[in-house]
Amino acid sequence: MSIIKEFKEFAMKGNAFDLAVGVVIGGAFQKIVNSLVNDIIMPLTAIFTGNIDYSEWKIVIGEGIAEIGIGSFVNALINFFVIAFSIFLALKYINKINKKLEKLNKEAMQTIKRKSKKSKKEEVNEKPKEPSTKICPYCLSEIPYKAVKCSHCTSSVEEIIEETVEGIEDGK
């Protein structure tokens, strides 16, 4: 996108923040811009216009009833465009930095979310570990947890354990 096109979009956007910054910076640089226009730009334009001094241009209405200072208006117009273009360039640079910061912030937030999701998945995936052994209710020997018969007394332990669990749940 050409810089002139971007400047046109900036000037027509009407963003209140951009306008406020423009007013503050314009006021701060007013003397510098006035000097630039009056001491550098206008003398350079005089080279192309045959040394015509814009500041003296006036339109007289009637027989001296009123004078319209066209030259002052031309100088003010040039001042305005120099200030506006300077502010545009400064804000363009600031917006570029802000976009980079927003991108970095967004990437950091995505990284945090990914890590958070990962740790939540790890928590969900962690099932309580089954005990590796249990006690036979008949001979009180330690047997594998998934055993249905005691290896010591050959009693069927699965049914008794289920009855015991149901009895505990029923309050017996």
Residue 72 to residue 75: CA distance in whole angstroms: 5
The predicted structure's pLDDT at residue 100: 92
Identify the CATH number of the domain defined by range 3-125: 1.10.1200
pLDDT class of 137 with cuts at 50, 70, 90: confident
Give me the residue spans of the domains in the chain.
3-125, 133-170
Residue 139 to residue 15: CA distance in whole angstroms: 85
Q: What is the pTM of this model?
A: 0.40
What radius of gyration, in Å, describes the C-alpha atoms of the chain?
43
The three-class DSSP label of residue 3 is helix
Euclidean distance between the first and the last CA atom of the chain, given in angstroms as a whole number? 82
Q: Which carries the bigger pLDDT value, residue 151 or residue 126?
A: 151
* pLDDT mean over 114-125: 67
Q: Is the pLDDT of residue 172 over 60?
A: no
Q: Is the pLDDT of residue 169 over 60?
A: no
In 3D, which of 83, 75, 80, 88 has the Cα closest to residue 41? 75
Work out whether strand 59-61 and strand 66-68 pair parallel, antiparallel, or are unpaired.
antiparallel
45-102 pLDDT, tens digit per residue, is: 777 767 666 677 788 887 778 888 788 787 778 777 877 787 788 889 988 998 999 9
